[in-house]
Homo-oligomer: A and B are copies of this chain.
Amino acid sequence: MKVHEYQAKDIFAKYGIPVPQGRVAQSPGVARELAAGIGCPVMVKAQVHVGGRGKAGGIKMAKTLGEAEKLAGKILGMRIKGLQVRKVLIYRALEIKSEAYMGIVVDRHSQVPMVMVSAAGGVDIEEVARETPEKIHRLAVDPLFGLLPFQARELTFSIYEDPGIAAQAAKILMQLYRAFWECDASLMEINPLIVSDQNKLWALDAKFNVDDNALYRQPKIAEMRDLQAEIPEELMARGKGLSYVKLDGTVGCVVNGAGLAMGTMDLIKQRGGEPANFLDIGGSSSPEKVTAAMHILLRDTNVKVILFNIFGGITRCDDVANGLVTALGEMGKVDLPIVIRLTGTASREGREILKKANLLAVDSMAEVVEKAVQMAKV
């Protein structure tokens, strides 16, 4: 789960990481008021869950209150990479002497948190990582001891010449690591970490992704989820324990298992079709999940055919069949063709159920995909 910059900054502030004082506005008028309270010049910054906000015109400096109101009006309602901007963060603009980068992720290779710092912050850090990886200093942290102060200093002394600034940065890095660990983050970043004209460090931007598996033990962070900032179908899916990602094709897919779902999508594409979505109904699927999956797919008007690809394991084919029959019963008439593949645990029982409802299931994945692609072309 992603949280907004302003929410991440609130968390950072709780951990003693210096962030410029700021607040969120949802209308130009409020933006003006906030700017008046903070004092111009201020930054007006779109709060959406995508990168590249600056390039898209979603980050602007306002020198006057009028400008703040005008810019907020322009940015609010703007669409960045398909997401509508509903909130802007207003905070005091600072003089910037230098921009650095600090980040922490869990490294899948070493299986521990990896801390990264670079003097080349502010710009596209991924490009720095690709082009000049030696400019990024990394440390795999022993999670049983956490980031030790001397290790934090070693990292920050390597990117700052001034020992006073390096010492400030080491403290920030220690706190960032503590926040990362205590908040079950999967990613935390400060980019840029700036040195102001008064030689003080500030986290000018803040990025914080939370491990979805840990939300049950991070109730305060779970509450930060901005439902408005999410795609309604993905939200519905999560509510039912499904994993759904909308795409642009015409073949709606209902699959159990992420790997098989991706394999199905790949095969649709290879056979000349376009998948309309990724949808994993997961293991232990109840009939309710199947019903929910149907409802979600039918909201997508691009969908021309619905493909079920179920390989029973922990998922029972009879559960899926029951779910499908129930869903069709509840929905009344469904105009779209449905093609079904059932194999594995309780597949015989599943087929019996479908047969009674006049639905036919095939046995092979290749066959069901072939059928679906042809039907979508009609």
Contacts and interface: CB of A to CB of B under 8 A. Distances in A.
A349 to B, nearest CB: 38
Contacts of A144: 144-145
What is the interface of chain A mostly: helix, strand, loop, or mixed? loop
Interface in A126-178: 144-145
Interface in A239-292: none
A215 to B, nearest CB: 21
Copies of the polypeptide in the assembly: 2
Interface residues of A, number: 2
Nearest to A145: B144
Nearest to A144: B144
A197 B145 CA distance: 44
Nearest to A142: B144
A54 B145 CA distance: 43
A13 to B, nearest CB: 21
Contacts of A145: 144
A141 to B, nearest CB: 14
A70 to B, nearest CB: 49
Interface string A48-63: 0000000000000000
A90 B144 CA distance: 43
Interface in A173-200: none
A144 B143 CA distance: 9
Nearest to A143: B144
A160 to B, nearest CB: 28
A144 B144 CA distance: 6
Interface in A100-146: 144-145
A145 B144 CA distance: 7
A239 B145 CA distance: 34
A144 B145 CA distance: 7
A217 to B, nearest CB: 14
A157 B105 CA distance: 40
A334 to B, nearest CB: 48
A145 B145 CA distance: 10
Interface in A26-70: none
A148 to B, nearest CB: 14
A145 B143 CA distance: 10
A291 to B, nearest CB: 37
Q: Please name the 2 residue pairs, one residue from A and one from B, whose CB atoms are nearest each other, closest first.
A: A144-B144, A144-B145
2 contacts: A144-B144, A144-B145
Interface of A: 144-145
